[in-house]
Chain A
Amino acid sequence: MSQAEDKFDSIIVGAGPAGSACAYTLAKAGKNVLLIERGDTPGAKNVTGGRIYTYALEMLEPGLYAEAALERRVTHEQIMLLGGERAITVDFHQPGFNAGDQAPMSFTILRAVFDEWLAAKAEEAGAIVACGIKVDRLIEQEGRIVGVVAGEDEMYADVVIAADGVNSLMAQEAGLIKDIAAKNVGVGVKEVIELPEQTISERFNLRTDEGAARMLLGCTEGIHGGGFLYTNKQSISLGCVFTPEEVARHRKSVQEIFQDLKMHPAIAPLIADGESIEYSAHLVSEAGFRGIHPRLYREGFLMVGDAAGFVVNTGYSIRGIDLAIVSGIAAAKAIIAAAENIALAGPNYMQELNRLKLMPTMKATDGYFEVLETPWLYDKIPNLANDVMEKLFKVDGETPSGVKENVLGAIKANGLSIWQLTKLGIKGVRSL
């Protein structure tokens, strides 16, 4: 093979949403792109909770979502606080999130099908997709990244884009990040439970095509973390995210805590008679804005998606897929604009990240990190809320105590003080 055949305009490592969105945009602009994925098919082993915000697909190409491999349109935003065997569920129903005349705001998704579909779109647009290939190393020449090594083979490009996910090997190879710090990530476990479409709609009170996205607090035995539940067409994605350090010290394993959640009286009926068809685990960046790596490029090299640290976790929603897609688009635009002088790709990329509002979004949500740091948020608060509810609704013929008394009593019973709650409230208000 000649040298020319060994060279592409861009090589993208990883066919997750970031890599495929980048490949799609570059290929559509006529660039000669190679997208390399280690899985036998894109998405084969990729894990997510399960929802995607549609604006990112609209940014990739208006109307694209209509043919995308998506599940249900999310119209029910839910928060669930578990305290012992009790549960409070807040259900915000906004049918407008699924109005007919515009793109629905978000969809539940299953990654195996979605990722394969998006990579196929990139291939259709002209990108070359090579699956079943793991990139082992980068090739550096005179301080620039000029290519990749996979097994015995070397392949060259003007730019290599690291879209290889959290704890990016490519970014480590490029010397831009170190091995990930345990305190900045969560370990997510997830099960996909199959149920008939009709059953899911009935159990969650959904009309055809409607979906629910639920975040759960109080299901992690006090460990920093939380649960999630998404209704797909014919399955439910149920999972938990935990801080690994705290799990390691905990007396119960992740699997045991997760099993307890599945048996919880408020969860068990939702998944009853379902069949588990998939179990998976994955890391997720938890540090938000401060988790973004200080340098996202060097000459001949850009980082996108999870590899760059683009995940927002507010406690009531996780966003990573949309940011992965937006950053993939930003990188592609930066490269296209740097056609004359490829050295400008990096600085262009930082500008695009701002222009496409990715950086401002990350910055705006920075405060959540501190709120979510509060240790007693994960057991005492949901328990307190349930205690207050219990007192509120209890009628047993005795003289009822006042609401204020009830609340104060419950705060004390949970080992908290008004002062702590006020501080959290102030922190919360500030972070918004």
Chain B
Amino acid sequence: MSQVIACYKWVADEADIRINADLSVDLSKAKGKISDYDKNVIEAAVQAAAALGGKAVGVTFGTADAKPSLKDALSRGLDEACYINAQEASQADGAATARALAAAIKKIADVGLIICAEGASDTYSRQTAPRIGALLDLPVVTSVSKMDINGNILTAARKLDDCMQTVKVELPAVVAVLPEINPAPIPGLKAVLAAGKKTVTELKAADLGADLTPRSTVSEVKGYVMNRKNIIFNEGDLAEQVKALAAALRKEGVL
């Protein structure tokens, strides 16, 4: 039996984030949520676990604030969850995050597949899957928009800039999926109730034996303003105005 790992992140809900007039970012009113793309990760893990006849296990690296994520994640069909509850998560860079997740995954027996999102909805740094692959010495397939599992072989469709690539990989492996991989369903009443009864393993930073010191630190987070050009094309007759508009768009590289 092979277990499938879904890595997910608890992020601030962007709908509640406010940019102040001085462009400083106000997170004080933001509620947490599971990164939207990770909902697809969880669903992909649930489906893959069914294909492999194993369990789907959620793994998250977060601060104490991430606790409410567990009920939500488990109600989405995961069998178990592993919660690395560490203050370090608030400062972690891609490397530290991957080391924390990899260390926790190592503690789980018989892992056949590790699924991450291509990026988290807050930082979108696209590092988690490749770095976990490197740390655990597993093959990595990124930008996956579709996957099938047949015995020990995973066939993934990779969505690239202008073409699709099909890749076969032998399990165990790490994949980074795109949101279009599935339509992550909204959990129903029984699933929500069942979530409360599932097993959660909580780990502290010290349990991991991993170096969680970030090498890159965030020095500033600021909002930005799109500067509009505010050009009005009102010279000449209509035909001339359209011509001027088209020329300007061409100059911008839009046409």
Residues in A lying within 8 Å of B, measured CB to CB: 1, 6, 34, 36, 41, 128, 130-133, 150-153, 155
CB closest residue in chain B, given A116: B31
**How far is the CB of B194 from the nearest CB of chain A, in Å?**
8
- Chain A residues with Cβ under 8 A from B187's Cβ? 132
B167 at the interface (CB under 8 A from A): no
Which of B186, B190, B192 is in CB contact (< 8 Å) with A1? B190
Across the interface, do B31 and A150 meet the contact criterion of CB distance under 8 Å? no
Q: Other CB < 8 Å A-B pairs besides A130-B189, A133-B188, A152-B188, 11 of them? A: A1-B190, A1-B194, A36-B189, A128-B196, A131-B192, A132-B186, A132-B187, A133-B189, A153-B190, A155-B190, A155-B193
| A152 CA / B196 CA spacing, docked (Å) | 19
Q: Which of A41, A130, A152 contacts B192 (CB 8 A)?
A: A130
- Is B186 touching A130 in the complex (CB atoms < 8 A)? no
Q: Chain B residues near A151 (CB, 8 Å)?
A: 188-189
Which residues of B does A touch, CB under 8 Å?
Answer: 31, 186-190, 192-194, 196
Is the beta-carbon distance between B190 and A132 smaller than 8 angstroms?
Answer: no
Please, how many angstroms separate the alpha-carbon atoms of A265 and B249 in the complex? 46
- Show 8 residue pairs from A and B whose CB-CB distance is below 8 angstroms, ordered by the A residue: A6-B190, A36-B189, A128-B196, A130-B189, A132-B192, A133-B189, A153-B190, A155-B189
Which of chain B's residues have a CB closer than 8 A to the CB of A132? Answer: 186-187, 192
Q: Which chain A residues border B196 with CB–CB below 8 Å?
A: 128
Interchain Cβ contacts within 8 Å, total number: 29
Chain B residues, Cβ within 8 Å of A34:
193
Given known pairs A151-B188, A152-B188, A153-B188, the reply for A130 and B193 (CB within 8 Å) is yes
The answer to whether B31 and A133 have CB atoms under 8 Å apart is no
Closest residue of chain B to A1 (Cβ to Cβ) is B190
User: Chain A residues with Cβ under 8 A from B31's Cβ?
Assistant: 41
Q: Which 6 A-B pairs have the closest CB atoms?
A: A153-B189, A150-B189, A130-B192, A153-B190, A151-B188, A133-B189
- Cβ of B31 to closest chain A Cβ, rounded Å: 7
Q: Which residues of B contact A150 (CB under 8 A)?
A: 188-189
What residue of chain A has the Cβ atom nearest to residue B190's Cβ? A153
**Cα distance A128–B188 when bound, in Å?**
15
Residue of A1, A36, A41, A151 with highest tally of chain B CB at under 10 A: A151
Contacts of B194 in A (CB 8 A): 1
The residue on A at minimum CB distance from B196 is: A128
B76 to A: closest C-beta gap in Å: 11
* Chain A residue with Cβ nearest B185: A151
Kindly list chain B residues whose C-beta atoms are within 8 Å of the C-beta of A133.
Answer: 188-189, 192
